[in-house]
Amino acid sequence: MPMPTAAAPASWSSAAAMAAGDVDQQPLPLLLRAVLLHCVGAVAHLLLAVAIAVQFVFAGGSHRGKEPAAASARGAGFRWFRLAVRATWALAVSEVFLAVYSLVSWYLNSGGGGGTGWGPSDALADAAARAVAWLLLAAYLQLGYRRRGEERFPAPLRLWWALFLLLSVLAVAVHATTGLQYKLPVPALSWARDAVSVLAGAVLLVAGFSAERGVAGGYASEEPLLDGANGTASAENGGDDSIDASLFTGAGFLSSLTFSWMGPLFAVGYRKTLDLDDVPDLDHGDSVAGVLPLFKANLEALTGDGSGGQKVTAFKLTRALVRTVWWQIAVTALYALIYSLAIYVGPYLIDSLVQYLNGDERYAGKGKLLVVIFIAAKVCECLSKRHWFFRIQRAGIRARSALVSVVYQKGLSLSSSSRQSRSSGEMVNIISVDAGRVDLFSWYIHDLWLMPLQVAMALFILYSTLGVASLAALGATVVVMLANVPPMQLQEKFQQKLMECKDVRMKATSEILRNMRILKLQGWEMKFLSKIIDLRKTEESWLKKYLYTWTMATFVLWGAPTFVAVVTFGACMLLGISLDSGKVLSALATFRVLQEPIYNLPDTISMIIQTKVSLERIASFLCLEEMPMDAVQRLPSGNSDIAIEISNGCFSWDASAEVPTLKDLNFKARQGMLVAVCGTVGSGKSSLLSCILGEMPKLSGEVKTCGTMAYVSQSAWIQSGKIQDNILFGKEMDSEKYGRVLESCSLKKDLEILPFGDKTVIGERGINLSGGQKQRIQIARALYQDADIYLFDDPFSAVDAHTGSHLFKECLLGALASKTVVYVTHQIEFLPAADLILVMKGGRIAQAGKYDEILGSGEELMELVGAHQDALTALDVIDVANGVSEPFSSSGAAKLSRSLSSVEEKDKQNGSEDIGKVQSGQLVQEEEREKGRVGFWVYWKYLTLAYGGALVPFVLIAQILFQVLQIASNYWMAWASPVSKDAEPPVSMSRLIYVFVALAGASSLCILIRALFLVTAAYKTATLLFDKMHMSIFRAPMSFFDSTPSGRILNRASADQSDVDTSIAEQMGSVAFSFIQLVGIIAVMSQVAWQVFVVFVPLTMICFWYQRYYIDTARELQRLVGVCKAPIIQHFAESVTGSATIRSFGKENQFVSTNSHLIDAFSRPKFYNAAAREWLCFRLYTLSCLTFAFCLIFLISLPIGLIDPAIAGLAVTYGLNLNSLQVTVVWCMCNLENKIISVERILQYMSIPEEPPLSMSGDKLSYNWPTEGEIQLHNLHVRYAPQLPFVLKGLTFTFPGAMKTGIVGRTGSGKSTLIQAVFRIVDPTIGRILVDGVDICTIGLHDLRSRLSIIPQDPTMFEGTIRSNLDPLGEYNDNQLWEALDNCQLGDEVRKKELKLDSPVIENGENWSVGQRQLVCLGRVTLKRTKILVLDEATASVDTATDNLIQKTLQENFSEATVITIAHRITSVLDSDMVLLLDNGVAVERDTPAKLLEDKSSLFSKLVAEYTMRATHA
């Protein structure tokens, strides 16, 4: 230990002995005795010497290979190396000189030593060890280390320098205490050594850290001196030297010390509103690329091999995180230690200051030294705290980035059973809440050891002033801490329950937001809102318990210093220990400092509990089963003639199921083969593709594939973003190839209609595209990848007949003619072209072979073909044999295409003017964020929301009373205690204590009242904000959900709501409470020295100027943090949903890279926000130090006796807290302004424009309206947003009552938009819709929607049961439900299930096939039986046989209803009474099917002819 104490000469020893013999001299405490200090110092330096000697002997030749690179590697770091070497040599020379001097002194005074002074024997050993150690270290740096050409100093060496500086400063403190308190003279030579040690230690520390920061992307943990095994990590992480340096990376020493490197960003933020592009890059070490490889290596090392996901525990996860950021933790531990020592200097010396002011002779002439020590301690406190907080936030950012990245990568590799076991809401909470909580815990990481250390130091000071009465203080502190255990245990329980409830609520909210369109169409949104409100009520019950438990803990701990003071002073009275004002003030100052560890205790325990829960949740997620890598044997392209081979395959989604999903699978597909898969609903067609992809758990058998793969899923998976990016999917743009793909997928015309073409931004899940457009973009994405094997899962069901035929010819038979293609289809007409047909039945391949071969060999295919032929009987009106289909195949198709194009072209010209006027025609806009200062109205709204703000005055009054009573109790103790033990006390000891107890007790009661009022108001406000925001969201028009990614809404419902629940009221209270305390401190200080206002007022004005200058930048940084968080959540949710597609294309690395980019984009404003806060706090601390210094200098400058020393001491006692409190006030204000943004964001969503009323009081609709079911459209114009072009353009048409009308048209022609207009999902911009003569815009939405039925284009099932999916409102009995299931051909399937109607449905209905989901939707409408039924491509996902059964069911149940059918199968509309053909929003043709078919030139007859042509080929 580098204790910089000189070997004591004999004169000092004798003086010490004389002083010790003085009866009035206090005994020297053990910690201040020379023997202990010198022995520890000698041992520490001997250890250093041994370590360096070992390094010389064993590591001499290990790094010679680096010499050639040394010169180029050093660069700017070489300057710091030379500085360190010179400083070390200077220190070594001074230590040798002092060692020689000590030896001479010992020789001349060989008979001296002993006593309580500084004995020369132990001093000699210390001096000798130091001389040897520093000489060896200087030689090591000069000879051994310099040759190796390292880029940075080894971490142990830097830690040694930091420790040396710390202990050198401690030595100064020991000498000062020995001289001031115990009157032992300290020789000038010792002071000289102290000066040299502190100066050299500071220089070495600066050199060490500056050299480290000069290395781009460097890690302390990659030091060769530490561990040779880290070389791999070094190569992995430190390889990228071309990265853009952050502002912090290139900062010099002074700039780093004062945070001046933030200046350029503040200058930009002051001039303009900051955007993300204005925020500089991160240091490589803080980015995902820097931190993730190291974290993964650490985690894998702890969990065994790389596949040890099953072994991840919360403890191992914690260890891996600590190893990853250990350097930041170690450095901040050092800063925290310096801070803890510095804050106790004031309480320790306050008694000396009071005695000096009282004229005590022992302190004569020591006033200036006391002031210097006070101010030096404050400077150390300021610097250490600011850099501690800054570096620990860096560690938190790194930890969060690592966790989110690992969780994301895990999410991409989850098996199907794992995905089903975790909802998207739970997974979103893991990255948004749990990873964030680990980040937040970084603030509390050192409290675990700091708390006992600070308590121990406080007790040491109390023992030195009050003697054995300090044991009472220890007992009281222990009681307080133990009293906190029960509330903390309750808080852990309540926190866990709160998180569980939040998970359930977020899961439900996420599902509802995904399916909001169907809820609005059915008029169910209020029912589902009540479900969310019920879930929130359960959550609120735990929130209430949590908050009131926190209130009790707050009361216990705010009252703790008062309780400890009462017990301690009471013990003094009982033990007869005299209390003079110096001792009282020292004790009070100590109790005040002791507040920090005691105040932090509940937060720390609570945060440990919360973080433990979060780490367990993350660890359990990381333990989930992943996709088996060996399920499919994948061979590179060209290695085999067989593209796909399955041998004896047995597969099951549920490994525990008795009957596997697929069994006895055997088939081969050669390179270039076209393989068709068909079968009835639920026969295992999609599962077959899943087992080829390796997505389905394999029970037995073998699957081989040869070549790259592309997959088109049945439910289209589209990313948010540009259409072009969705098609390219990470590949480079090849314009020629891209054009061919668009042509093949019939996308060119669609893109021409869109205002931004292929640059149009798609909403979440492709919400602003039709089903057919989404499918064609999926197919285009697959084609552009140019894979070897293509898997299509029934992509033709979502497109119209003409487009389907085009896609089949151009894509499967054209562009992919040389590729291996496996396609699932329900369209029999696409089967004959296949080289191999697989007919699925009951999870087996029932038939396999060419079309003609198997047609007569079994009944499975015959059933499907027979049903198809039945459907074609409706086409008897066309004389197929007489050459209609034959000439159509070439010239007819061209004519049809030309006629459709001409209509579109004409309409495009009409709409071009509108498009030209669009300034920002994108449907999905950038997330709106407020700019500038948070408006006063946000604060006012928050304060007055609960009980009209009635509780706010009571909270403030309670706090003011608390502050007044606190000051009064301390004032009383200072005034009523004698200045010295010789003085006469003004009051008796008992009265002194009793009055203090009364005042302190009353102040504690005020705290309880304040806490109760605050929590009550906070709880009520949080509840109201939640209810109002959700009501506003659920009442928002569908256009809001189309243009708003659900991540933005979920962010407000989770993270922002969490802040409102638990943080904002506390933050708001903290601003008021700290301001009231600051006013109290200034009031006390002005009692003694009103002149302090001369400095305080201008400095305070400067403080507030700094705050205003800071807040412009910080506010926008905080808002950017909020805005950048949603894309991470959204990208994660999208990636998990589309993980099968991502894996099939082999794009995992691309998506991981995108995720890393999004995390870094979030970390950038977060990092600079943290730095900005420390920039401000450093300046505020410095200014408040000036105020305190002025006060001290003023006090010691006054003539002795002019002011009451006790009151002056009280002023200084309060002044010790001035800097921290002044910073707290401004920081709390800034923090509040940052946090209140959560309220601002929630209020933003409370003011969303509402849909029209759900019902109108003036409605006089009859209970059985509509009776006829006639729908009239008059000049109907519809568009989705004011900035977008019209989708329907002047439509005038009548849907006759009780008749069936079919709507046909190519994909994107406006069919689904028309239906949305009828349901008022989109209100007409121009024109009217009348139902039975009633203008639907004049009645309530629920009055309209409850009288209509729809089977939507995208089949939707909600998590729950079959019963809750059929009848969400609980209006029907079991018999009716079974009847509905039988009607929709699902009765037998549900009866097979063990739980029957209560059979579970998982999130999105993923445990039911798409076709089965469509049938459930059919079941819903047969229950409802309204007069108007809309089928929006309702049978697209079922086979022809099932479709025929459904059509019969509908005819039986809705024979007297108005049925509007949008269908891609022409046969679905041929039996209609009326047909409406739409093209690009215009009614091109309308008439009965027979009449339209008679006119061979009509577009409809051409569509039918084309369909027939395809069908007859079957």
Q: Per residue in 238-292, pLDDT tens?
A: 333 333 457 777 777 778 888 888 888 888 888 888 888 888 888 888 888 889 8
CA-wise closest residue to 427 among 438, 414, 413, 411: 411
Higher pLDDT among residues 123 and 433, named by residue: 433
Separation of CA 1211 from chain center: 45
Mean pLDDT of the chain: 77
Q: Which pLDDT score is estimated for 652?
A: 85
Q: Which pLDDT score is estimated for 151?
A: 57
Q: Per residue in 563-599, pLDDT tens?
A: 888 888 888 888 878 777 777 777 877 877 777 777 6
Q: Residue 177 contacts by C-beta under 8 Å, 6 or more apart in sequence?
A: 32, 348
d(CA 634, CA 755): 43
798-812, 814-828, 1055-1069: least confident range: 798-812
Q: Which pLDDT score is estimated for 1024?
A: 92
Q: Which pLDDT score is estimated for 1222?
A: 73
Q: Which pLDDT score is estimated for 401?
A: 92
Q: CB–CB of 1114/933 below 8 Å?
A: no
Q: Which pLDDT score is estimated for 144?
A: 61
The predicted model gives 1186-1193 an average pLDDT of 79
Q: Per residue in 523-546, pLDDT tens?
A: 888 888 998 999 999 999 999 999
CA-wise closest residue to 983 among 799, 657, 1204: 1204
Look up residue 615 and give its amino acid: L
Higher pLDDT among residues 14 and 142, named by residue: 142
Confidence label for 1399 from pLDDT (cuts 50, 70 and 90): confident
Q: Per residue in 1313-1348, pLDDT tens?
A: 888 888 888 888 888 898 888 888 888 888 888 888
Q: Which pLDDT score is estimated for 1025?
A: 93
Highest-pLDDT range among 882-891, 925-934, 1268-1277:
1268-1277
Calculate what percentage of the chain has a pLDDT beyond 90: 5
The predicted model gives 1350-1374 an average pLDDT of 82
Q: Which pLDDT score is estimated for 890?
A: 36
Calculate what percentage of the chain has a pLDDT beyond 70: 81
Residue 662 has pLDDT above 70, yes or no: yes
d(CA 1380, CA 1405): 19
Q: Per residue in 1224-1233, pLDDT tens?
A: 787 787 778 7
The predicted model gives 1288-1306 an average pLDDT of 85
Residue 896 has pLDDT above 50, yes or no: no
Confidence label for 897 from pLDDT (cuts 50, 70 and 90): very low
Q: Which two tokens stand for residue 826?
A: 């329900």
The predicted model gives 199-222 an average pLDDT of 59
CA-wise closest residue to 397 among 1124, 1241, 1063: 1124
Q: Which pLDDT score is estimated for 112?
A: 41
DSSP H helical ranges for 1325-1373: 1341-1345, 1362-1366
Question: Long-range pairs for 995-1000 at CB < 8 Å and ≥24 separation?
Answer: 996/565, 996/566, 996/569, 996/969, 996/972, 997/566, 997/570, 999/965, 999/968, 999/969, 999/972, 1000/562, 1000/565, 1000/566, 1000/965, 1000/966, 1000/969
Separation of CA 1380 from chain center: 44
Q: Which pLDDT score is estimated for 920?
A: 43
Q: Which pLDDT score is estimated for 1156?
A: 92
Q: CB–CB of 168/4 below 8 Å?
A: yes
The predicted model gives 816-823 an average pLDDT of 89
DSSP, collapsed to helix, strand or coil, labels residue 251 as coil
d(CA 295, CA 728): 32
Question: Long-range pairs for 481-488 at CB < 8 Å and ≥24 separation?
Answer: 481/598, 481/601, 483/556, 484/553, 484/556, 484/557, 484/601, 484/602, 484/605, 487/549, 487/550, 487/552, 487/553, 487/556, 487/602, 488/553, 488/602, 488/605, 488/606, 488/609
Q: Which residues pair with 626 in a beta bridge?
A: 414
Q: Which pLDDT score is estimated for 1511?
A: 53
Q: Which two tokens stand for residue 116?
A: 């309580």
Separation of CA 1388 from chain center: 45
Residue 25 has pLDDT above 70, yes or no: no
DSSP, collapsed to helix, strand or coil, labels residue 706 as strand
Residue 738 has pLDDT above 60, yes or no: yes
Confidence label for 104 from pLDDT (cuts 50, 70 and 90): low
Q: CB–CB of 460/345 below 8 Å?
A: no
Q: Per residue in 343-381, pLDDT tens?
A: 888 888 777 777 777 766 666 667 778 888 888 888 888
d(CA 352, CA 370): 8
Residue 415 has pLDDT above 60, yes or no: yes
Q: Which two tokens stand for residue 1403?
A: 């999130």
d(CA 381, CA 340): 8
Q: Which pLDDT score is estimated for 542?
A: 92
The predicted model gives 971-984 an average pLDDT of 71
Residue 901 has pLDDT above 50, yes or no: no
